[in-house]
Amino acid sequence: MPLLGVNIDHIATIRQARRGDEPDPVRAAHEAELGGAGIITVHLREDRRHIQDHDVERLRPFIKVRLNLEMAASAEMIGIARRIEPHMCTLVPEGRLEVTTEGGLNVAGDAKRLKAAVAKLKAAGIVASAFIDADPDQIQASADAGFDACEIHTGPYAAAFAKAGGDFSKPNLKAQLDTIAEAGEFIRACGMRFNAGHALNYHNVGPIAALPEIAELHIGHSIVSRAVYTGMREAVREMNRLIENAASGHHHG
Ligand code: PXP
């Protein structure tokens, strides 16, 4: 069964609405762990719109599972990562005006810089993951740059799922899922870890969780949204139940 990485950025979004001290992402991470999170993810953005530096610093010794730091491949962020030493860094493109990460990293178009960034992370013992679109050229470039893992951007799949109402007889939805499955096979053939994430939710997660050899699913907004009603622990538990059912073959997409 793939590990569930719970992204708690939006706990910090709620806190920043008042620039106060609640809700505290560290407490949310604890609740997510109690619900079965295998990884806690935070995105330290250049504009610090949600997660702050001190959150990452406090999370690192506090959490018992893996810490995944999402970040741009900037000198500032690489320095922070090397100081805090999360288990993994996921490199993402970052646009100042975007509401959330909009597309995958262009590893093929920025190979030299990213290869240097990966080398710096790996020298500090940090696992390096590339958040990319399901594109063979990007996968090959990620392998060439030395990445240990690729996280495939599931946004286009999620959009197709919503449009098709989850009906896999609709050609575009089936095509999006097949594209991710093929990307996963190629990632594994390149010797990297196959992860996926972005815009996954309680409705669309099953077919992705059922893909062969998928190692990690990274999910944020849908879990935090549900946690508003059910609490974080139960929201994570329910997502893990769906993943486990799908991964063990109970899902019929
Ligand atoms: N993976 C990556 C690389 C992301 O940038 C994000 C959003 O921060 C996620 C996963 C989680 O996406 P969502 O909040 O839509 O579940």
Q: Are 200 and 158 in contact (CB under 8 A)?
A: yes
Ligand 1 geometric centre to CA of 219 (Å):
6
Q: What's the whole-number mean pLDDT along residues 58-74? A: 97
Residue 32 Cα to ligand 1 middle (Å): 16
- Over residues 5-22, the pLDDT tens digits come to 999 999 999 999 999 999
For residue 121, pLDDT over 80 is answered with yes
Catalytic residue (choose from 33, 198, 216, 218): 198
Known active-site residue 216: no
Q: How far apart are CA 236 and CA 234, in angstroms?
A: 5
Atom of ligand 1 nearest to the CA of 131: 3
Catalytic site includes residue 43: yes
Cα–Cα distance measured from residue 233 to residue 237, given in angstroms and rounded to the nearest whole number: 6
Q: What percent of the chain has pLDDT over 70?
A: 97
Does the pTM exceed 0.85?
Answer: yes
pLDDT value for 250: 61
Given pLDDT bands bounded at 50, 70 and 90, which one contains residue 94?
confident
CA R_g for the chain: 17
**Overall average pLDDT of the 140-157 stretch:** 98
CATH superfamily of 3-247: Aldolase class I (3.20.20.70)
Distance 20 CA to ligand 1 centre (A): 24
- Across 158-164, average pLDDT: 98
Contacts of 132 (CB under 8 A, 6+ apart): 104, 105, 107, 138, 139, 142, 150, 151, 152, 153
Q: Report the chain's mean pLDDT, rounded to a whole number.
A: 96
